[in-house]
Amino acid sequence: MRLAELYLSKPGVSFPEPKVDNAEILRRVRERYRGPEGDWPKLASAIEHVWGICRTRTRHLADADERCVADYAVKATQHCLAVNDTTLDEVDLVICGGIARQYFEPATAMEVAAKLGLKRTHAFDVTAACVGHLEAVQTAAAYLHLHPEYRTALICTAELSGHFLDYDIQTLRDLRTKSAGLTVGNAAGCFLLRRTPWPGGGIRLLGIDTHTVPDHWHLCQVPVDGTLVSSSVELMRLGKLIPPIVRQRFDKVGWRPEEVAHYVFHQPSEPMVRQIIQDSGADPERGIYTHSAYGNTASASVAVTYDQLLKEREIKPGDKIALGSAAAGFSVVVGTGEWVSAG
């Protein structure tokens, strides 16, 4: 069964400063290194090997003490409103789908709404690791079905991870669980969702679904007041679960993988995304790749990659677009839609 008519806007994005390269991250690890000097070259080489595998080069990173995620979500929202030539007048629902947060309560969406100047709205957060932003889109779609009086949903996310990253790496054993943090970048993103097409173009959602395999919940964690630890090798192996899920979701809307013009997927590493698209039955060149420029921006990476799609390619009416993300847990969200313009 297809969704009722719902249209996802062009994205808005924002990034903290500065933008740093691999050399700066390696410097941070070297600064904290306390092991034998003779062992450092081997450790440094292993770190560079991780970046080579993922094709990590640069990323934006906020300072470790910068935690006001709402400010970046607001900037991404303002960008989203501008590129879609619209205002907040019809926004009835605000959902924040990020991982990072400045506090446990209230919902970050409340602060975003207040800073945008909304006096009355429905605002709350959705937390689902790296699939959070797409999970929030799915939640917004459900609310628009449930509440016909709601006109437009504003769906944002912001990832500031400086205080969750750990550069204290002394051995290759440490690197096994901390290497993922060395590829992380920070970003914020925003979508708008409503029942009528966007004049400048947008995606008519045909379907959006989540598939979760909770047995793997322990492979990646950010403990409360702790730092990111991730069994990256084991998580990457779970990538084999994604192509069958993608094909199943395509079957629900009558698509074949080779018909999809643009794959806008979460970016844990470029080779992994290429392999997923290929194993799904499509040409990897149909994918958009942003990891080398922005790193793994967690829940914001779908918005960042969608924004890059609009910069790189001319999208034609009727083009099939797949939105996808996988996350610690292990969860996969796949959205399907076609490009539509009211103009």
pLDDT, tens digit (0-9, with 9 covering 90-100), for 117-139: 999 999 999 999 999 999 999 99
Please say whether the dihedral angle defined by the alpha carbons of residues 96, 302, 205 and 116, taken in this order, is positive or negative: positive
Per-residue pLDDT, 299: 97
The angle subtended at Cα 253 by Cα 267 and Cα 190, nearest 5°, is 40
Single-letter code of the amino acid located at 86: T
In this prediction, residues 212-239 reach a mean pLDDT of 83
Three-state secondary structure readout of the chain: CCCCCCEECCCEEECCCCEEEHHHHHHHHHHHCCCCHHHHHHHHHHHHHHHHHHCCCEEECCCCCCCCHHHHHHHHHHHHHHHCCCCCCCEEEEEECCCCCCCCCCCHHHHHHHHHCCCCCEEEECCCHHHHHHHHHHHHHHHHHHCCCCCEEEEEEEECCHHHCCCCCCCHHHHHHHHHHHHECCEEEEEEEECCCCCCCEEEEEEEEEEECHHHHHHEECCCCCCCEECHHHHHHHHHHHHHHHHHHHHHCCCCHHHCCEEEECCCCHHHHHHHHHHHCCCHHHECCCHHHHCECHHHHHHHHHHHHHHHCCCCCCCEEEEEEEECCCEEEEEEEEEECCC
CB 319 within 8 A of CB 255: no
Residue 13 vs residue 215, higher pLDDT:
13
Give the chain's domains with CATH numbers. 202-340 (3.40.47.10)
Single-letter code of the amino acid located at 171: T
Per-residue pLDDT, 1: 44
In this prediction, residues 208-222 reach a mean pLDDT of 88
Per-residue pLDDT, 343: 59
Structure tokens at 157: 């996310």
Residue 2 has pLDDT above 60, yes or no: no
In this prediction, residues 75-79 reach a mean pLDDT of 98
Residue 66 has pLDDT above 80, yes or no: no
Per-residue pLDDT, 67: 75
Residue 33 has pLDDT above 60, yes or no: yes
Task: Choose among 72, 107, 79: nearest CA to 93.
Answer: 107
Q: Please give the share of the chain, as a percent, with pLDDT higher than 90.
A: 85
Residue 49 vs residue 64, higher pLDDT:
49
Supply the mean pLDDT for the chain: 94
Residue 101 vs residue 56, higher pLDDT:
56
How far is 326 from 334, CA to CA, in rounded Å?
A: 9
Per-residue pLDDT, 164: 85
Single-letter code of the amino acid located at 160: L
Residue 169 vs residue 221, higher pLDDT:
169
Please say whether the dihedral angle defined by the alpha carbons of residues 218, 224, 230 and 235, taken in this order, is positive or negative: positive
Lowest-confidence pick of 1-15, 82-96, 112-126, 196-210 = 1-15
Kindly report the number of other CB atoms within 10 A of residue 254's CB atom: 10
